[in-house]
Amino acid sequence: MDYQLTFSAQAHKDSRKLEYSPLKETVHKLLSIVARNPFQNPPPYEKLSDEIPHLYSRRINIHHRLVYRVFEDEHIVRILHMWTHYE
């Protein structure tokens, strides 16, 4: 069963940056993978925090990351960032 993707306000802002970026295709592939299975490996993912449960990230490139939170019971993945998470 696929997961439903929802997007934070920040992820919507990030999507506007991606519209004209060469990273757009990479992000779409990662979103497709995460929708099917947010724990699929490869491509590798990492758990970000023990303070916020179920928070993960995947590399888009060396500078940018896809950051998301998984709600397993509801089968929802909340996309938090799709650009740099250092800004």
pLDDT over 90 percentage in the chain: 83
Does residue 61 belong to any structural domain of this protein? yes
Q: Which of 2-11, 45-54, 55-64, 65-74 has the lowest mean pLDDT?
A: 45-54
- Residue 68: beta bridge partners? 56, 79
Q: Please, which residues have CB within 8 angstroms of residue 76's CB and are 6 or more apart in sequence?
A: 3, 4, 5, 6, 70
Q: Please give the residue range of the domain that contains residue 67.
A: 4-81
pTM for the model: 0.91
Does residue 87 belong to any structural domain of this protein? no
Does residue 55 belong to any structural domain of this protein? yes
Does residue 17 belong to any structural domain of this protein? yes
